[in-house]
Structures are given as structure tokens and as C-alpha cells.
Amino acid sequence: MNLRDSSYIAAGEMNGIEQLVTCFYTVMSELPEAAKIRDMHPSDLTTSIDKLSCFLSGWLGGPRLYAEKYGAFGMPQVHKHLNVTELERDAWLLCMFHALEQQLSYTEPFKKYMLRQLAIPAERIRLVCSGS
């Protein structure tokens, strides 16, 4: 087992990731600070939940389900039609912070690690998408 596999396992494998992402989108639907980014998504979040879960599976070192189901993934490309400034980036990360907090099986260091790692693509998206 290498470090990347251990992230996938620490996240609870696919069941745990799906729980985290479902929680993430529930928070996004409820948190006033996230209203704007929630509105960027379709009203039915089923596909959004599946896509982010499949992506995170591969990103955490588990099976590369996104590529299998949905094809190639370009992080900035799938967001480039959106206007993502610091506000939207921080709202996204805030939803993830609350979702991580609700995962009782996650250790504190793993929650912190996840948030730090997710801040990297979130910032990349902001750089590409601010002002679009």
C-alpha cells in the first residue's frame, strides 16, 4: 500500500467518498454563503454527486472511475464557463470543510490534509475562471 492508496482507504473507499460528496452538496444547498455556487449547478444533483465522487476516487488513489464513466477530465476546462473568484472558491472550500467535519470516521489530520489538497485545484480553477 502506498501513500496514495492510503488516502483512498482513509476516505472510506467509494462508500465513504459518496457519503462525503452527498454531504458536501447538502451543505452547499443549505449554506447561505454557498447560494451562488449552488445556483451554478443543476437543480437535480444526482449526476453532480456521481461525477465528483468518481473524480475523487481516482484523485485519492483509488479506481479511476471518472475516466471509465465520463471520459477524460480537464480540471480548469470543465469550469471555464463559470465565474469563479475568491468568493466562489472559498464558498466551495467552506462546503467541503463542513462536509469533512461531519465524517465521523475521518481523523483530524486526514480532514486537514484533504482540505489543504483540495485548495490547490480550487485555486487553479479560480486563476483560470475569474473574470469569465
Positions in the binding site for ligand HEM (CB under 6 A): 37, 40-42, 47-48, 51-52, 55, 70, 78-79, 82, 84, 88-89, 92, 118, 121-122, 125-126
For ligand HEM, the closer CB: 47 or 105:
47
Min dist CB 101 to ligand HEM, Å, is 18
Q: All 3 cell numbers of residue 98?
A: 463542513
Helix axes 13-30, 46-59, angle to 10 degrees: 130
Q: What is the dihedral of CA 122, 104, 32, 91, to 10 degrees?
A: -10
Min dist CB 77 to ligand HEM, Å, is 9
Tally the residues of the chain: 132
